[in-house]
């Protein structure tokens, strides 16, 4: 399969690669500086979403705010998983060492990757996600590290959505850390970034490697 997403790749530890997934209106460059800061030494793979909503890139279509186009999401999830496999072959990083760092729309497709193509990721930091759809009952995410971060004043994703996602991930064996910031909205805070860096420094992706201790942000 061709590398058919416009993307940025920066080589690093082949056993530890950050898959950076932007929010609505972002592109392949938006999260790269953040990725370098969050996990120095890790490889970086940052694809641009192929769907346009009023000219703004997304990873999949939605019918309205909070109403996802599930058939399109499933198709796009498979497409992204296939791209990851092709990129691992092209660039020589270990597939099991891929940790997604997704924001909003990017977090939702990362959650869908965990649900539908769990072998594509060794872990995921889901920042301001919703539950995209019910996780399969027979899904086994045993030992997969996942961080979920939500805000109490998020105007797009009520905390109950993130809490249900946390519950379904935990019920299927994932090692979930849930971070709730009561005063935060949909945008990320400095506290989110510090917590994400700490989480990344502490976890070992399935099939990947654990980094040395790093200074905090």
Q: Report the DSSP pairing between strands 98-103 and 67-68.
A: unpaired
| N-term to C-term CA, the chain | 38
Query: Phi-psi region for residue 103, left (φ > 0), alpha (ψ -120 to 50) or beta?
Result: beta
Tell me what pLDDT residue 212 has. Answer: 45
Q: Which residue has the higher pLDDT, 2 or 11?
A: 11
**Domain spans in the chain, listed from the N-terminal domain onward:** 7-202
What is the per-residue pLDDT across 67-101, written as a single tens digit (0 to 9) for each? 899 999 999 999 999 999 999 999 999 999 999 99
Written as six digits, the tokens of 28 are 């392949």
Give CA–CA dist 76/112, Å, rounded: 10
CATH of 7-202, one of 3.40.50.300, 3.40.50.1820, 2.60.40.420, 1.20.20.10: 3.40.50.1820
Burial of 80 (0-12, 13-18, 19+ CB in 10 A): buried
Instruction: Assign 51 a pLDDT band (cuts: 50, 70, 90).
Output: very high
Average pLDDT over residues 162-182: 96
pLDDT band at residue 31 under the 50/70/90 scheme? very high
Put simply, whether the predicted model's pTM sits higher than 0.85 gets the answer yes
Whether the pLDDT of residue 1 is over 60: the answer is no
User: Distance (Å, rounded) from C-alpha 57 to C-alpha 104?
Assistant: 13
C-alpha distances out from residue 77 to 29, 40, 133, Å: 21, 27, 13
Per DSSP, what are the bridge partners of residue 62? Answer: 68
> What's the CA gap between 23 and 29, in Å, rounded?
12
pLDDT of 217 higher than 90: no
Q: How far apart are CA 166 and CA 149, in angstroms?
A: 10
Spatial distance between the Cα atoms of 51 and 103, rounded to a whole number of angstroms = 16
Q: Which residue spans within the chain are E strands per DSSP?
A: 7-10, 13-21, 42-47, 51-53, 56-58, 62-64, 67-68, 98-103, 123-127, 145-151, 175-181
Identify which has the larger pLDDT, 216 or 188: 188
Q: Which residues are identified as catalytic?
A: 104, 154, 186
Output the pLDDT for position 65.
Answer: 79
């Amino acid at each position: 399969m061709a590398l058919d997403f416009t993307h940025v790749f920066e080589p690093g530890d082949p056993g530890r690669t950050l898959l950076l997934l932007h929010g609505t209106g972002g592109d392949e460059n938006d999260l790269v500086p953040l990725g370098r800061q969050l996990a120095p030494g890790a490889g970086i793979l940052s694809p641009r979403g192929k769907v346009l909503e009023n000219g703004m890139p997304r990873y999949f279509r939605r019918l309205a705010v909070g109403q996802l186009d599930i058939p399109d999401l499933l198709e796009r999830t498979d497409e992204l998983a296939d791209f990851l496999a092709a990129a691992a072959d092209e660039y020589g990083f270990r597939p099991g060492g891929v940790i997604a760092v997704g924001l909003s729309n990017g977090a939702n497709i990362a959650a869908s990757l965990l649900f539908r193509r769990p072998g594509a990721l060794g872990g995921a930091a889901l920042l301001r996600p919703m539950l995209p759809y019910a996780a399969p009952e027979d899904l086994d995410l045993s030992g997969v590290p996942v961080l979920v971060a939500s805000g109490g004043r998020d105007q797009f994703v009520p905390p109950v959505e993130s809490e249900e996602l946390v519950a379904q991930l935990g019920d299927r064996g994932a090692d979930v850390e849930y971070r709730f910031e009561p005063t935060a909205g949909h945008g990320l805070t400095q506290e989110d970034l510090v917590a994400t860096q700490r989480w990344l420094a502490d976890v070992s992706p399935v099939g990947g490697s654990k980094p040395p201790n790093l200074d905090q942000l």
